[in-house]
Amino acid sequence: MAAEPTAHELLRKHRPTLDQALEAIRTRAYWSPHPEHPKAYGEDGSLDAAAGKAAFDALLGNRLDLADQPGVDDWVGGEVSPYGIELGVTYPHPDIDVLLPAMRAGQRAWRDAGPELRAVVCLEILKRISDRTHQFAHAVMHTSGQAFMMAFQAGGPHAQDRALEAVAYAYAEQVRTPEQAEWTKPQGKRDPLVLTKRFTAVPRGIGLVIGCNTFPTWNGFPGLFASLATGNAVLVKPHPRAVLPLALTVRIARDVLAEAGFDPNLVALAAERPGEGIAKTLALRPEIRIIDYTGSTAFGDWLETNAHQAQVYTEKAGVNTVIVHSTDDYQGMLSNLAFSLSLYSGQMCTTPQNLLIPRDGIATDQGHKSFDEVTADLARAVDGLLGDDARANALLGAIVNPDVKARLEAAAGLGEVALASREVTHPDFPDAVVRTPVIVKLDGAKPDDEAAYMSECFGPVSFAVAVDSAADAVELLRRTVREKGAMTVGAYTTDAATEQAVEEACLEEAAQLSLNLTGGVYVNQTAAFSDFHGSGGNPAANAALTDSAFVANRFRMVEVRREA
């Protein structure tokens, strides 16, 4: 078979990286093969900053051709960057009755390739993506509205890390069962019973990845690579406002698959017409056996309730809480929180929303601080962080869509404003909507306020919620996670009993907890190979990135046994 020499080469090239990834998910120590620094790119075939920018510019206003993806019945696309420019890129629109059957044609060879070859083919796809990190950075920036540096890191190396992590878990899971076993059962004085058994990891069918607007690669890659590495074909349905990064991904995947001797239709793109709602149609097709979704709770719940033919992995919305009880590093706490609230204008599923602060104030290394002092100091910290427009732009990015802007504007009416949002002008993109976060004071004891703080207000909106006590805060945390879900929980406390109570609430409600962060790690950031993103155990998400539950049901193990 023609792929043999390539297979050998891919194994030689990527097996060491796979082994390092396997070791990293065992130890959960820090590791990444994907550099975070823009200047690290430009050698060994990777695009440097200028080449990446040029490669991005070359896409604008053109068709993004996916070579011979079957069943193209139209060209669609209408992405407008949150920074104001029209991308003008069009993508093939699929006739799914042609595309889905075509995607199954290559599945047998992909299955027969086995877990190891599939893994290194996935790593080759990731290598090509990594080489184009600068190009992806612009594509992510101009679809998500992330500032360039964040688009570069979160959309590039961090997303690639999450993809590699998924490949490692998928590989490990498939090789837990040996390919073959001899089974010899003693029968006393008679001859033993002897069977030869062969075990094959078989795919479920076609995986559907439904991408999101804010993190098209970071949230899209894990499902894509987990399904592909376990032998499935993968159909990628990007968010209509963030097609480009995933279309580039699909193009690279198709190229690598074809070069390695596999059918490029194992990965395909489903771009859609405005308002078409193709995800709903695809999600119920019998060929679709796995769905990975990031987005609204409403559609996530709909998928979980209706797509019975598929394994459904969702990341939906939650209400993230930080308990501010006490600290021995008041300035560190304020700086850390200010950064968390500001990063990407709070448009992360992990951004804190509710800051629960005792109404009698908190103990700090700078003495007792009243509720109003804490909120005022936090407002000042955010102001200080974002006082300089250049720095503000570099941190905030742009508001991703008009819904977020509308929520931000409405938030000021929900209570007393501790920090007002302000407009920031972007020097390069005058049409970009850039806004600093708003902080609104609410009272945890007031039923009217509860409607606000118990709903997700996605965007740069936080609520400083006055609570009666540490116990009251923990109880509200617990109720929030149970009823609304949470991707993250944070807490600041110097009190051992409070710390233990918060930990216990997080263990019981299955929420990921960051304690007393005052330095350069933020509650809204998780690192692949070490941190779990979401828990899969509260309403915010039914899966975690990444554990073996995320991969183990994407394939099945089929046994063929015969007498030896």
Residues that bind a second copy (CB under 8 A): 25-30, 108, 111, 173, 176-178, 181-187, 193, 195, 197, 199-200, 202, 204, 304-305, 308, 503-504, 506-508, 510-521, 527, 530-532, 535-537, 544, 547-549, 552-553, 556-563
CA angle 102, 106, 110 (to 5 degrees): 150
Q: Are 519 and 492 in contact (CB under 8 A)?
A: no
Residues 6+ apart with CB under 8 A from 409: none
Do the strands 180-187 and 91-94 form a parallel or antiparallel pair, or are they unpaired? unpaired
CA nearest 230: which of 260, 262, 206?
Answer: 206
Three-state DSSP at 206 gives strand
Residue 262 CB, nearest distance to a second copy (Å)?
17
Which CB sits closer to a second copy, 242 or 395? 395
Report CA dihedral (272, 151, 63, 225) to the nearest 10 degrees: -60
Q: What are phi and psi of 85, to 5 degrees?
A: -90, 145
User: Distance between terminal CA atoms of the chain?
Assistant: 29
Which CB sits closer to a second copy, 311 or 370? 311
What is the spatial distance between Cα 269 and Cα 91, in angstroms, rounded to a whole number?
A: 8
Residue 427 CB, nearest distance to a second copy (Å)?
27
Residue 556 CB, nearest distance to a second copy (Å)?
4
**Rg for the chain, CA atoms, rounded:** 25
Which CB sits closer to a second copy, 63 or 556? 556
Residue 215 CB, nearest distance to a second copy (Å)?
20
Name the one residue in this structure whose structure tokens are 């190396």.
Answer: 157
Do the strands 438-443 and 321-324 form a parallel or antiparallel pair, or are they unpaired? unpaired
- DSSP assignment of 239-267 equals -TTS-HHHHHHHHHHHHHHHHTTS-GGGE
What is the spatial distance between Cα 326 and Cα 473, in angstroms, rounded to a whole number?
A: 12
Residue 248 CB, nearest distance to a second copy (Å)?
28
Which CB sits closer to a second copy, 181 or 406? 181
Q: Are 36 and 153 in contact (CB under 8 A)?
A: yes
Retrieve residue 213's tokens: 């607007």
Which CB sits closer to a second copy, 174 or 393? 174
Amino acid code (one letter) for 147: A
Retrieve residue 63's tokens: 């068709």
Which CB sits closer to a second copy, 178 or 402? 178
Residue 415 CB, nearest distance to a second copy (Å)?
31
What is the spatial distance between Cα 64 and Cα 77, in angstroms, rounded to a whole number?
A: 10
Which CB sits closer to a second copy, 38 or 238? 38
Residue 32 CB, nearest distance to a second copy (Å)?
9
Q: CB count, 10 Å around CB of 193?
A: 12
Beta-bridge partner residues of 368: 363
Residue 536 CB, nearest distance to a second copy (Å)?
5
Q: How far is CA 461 from the centre of its chain?
A: 21
Which CB sits closer to a second copy, 22 or 278? 22
Residue 406 CB, nearest distance to a second copy (Å)?
31
Residue 467 CB, nearest distance to a second copy (Å)?
21
Which CB sits closer to a second copy, 456 or 499? 499
Residue 352 CB, nearest distance to a second copy (Å)?
15
Which CB sits closer to a second copy, 275 or 520? 520
Q: Are 542 and 312 in contact (CB under 8 A)?
A: yes
Do the strands 367-369 and 362-364 form a parallel or antiparallel pair, or are they unpaired? antiparallel
Which CB sits closer to a second copy, 267 or 511? 511
What is the spatial distance between Cα 462 and Cα 454, in angstroms, rounded to a whole number?
A: 12
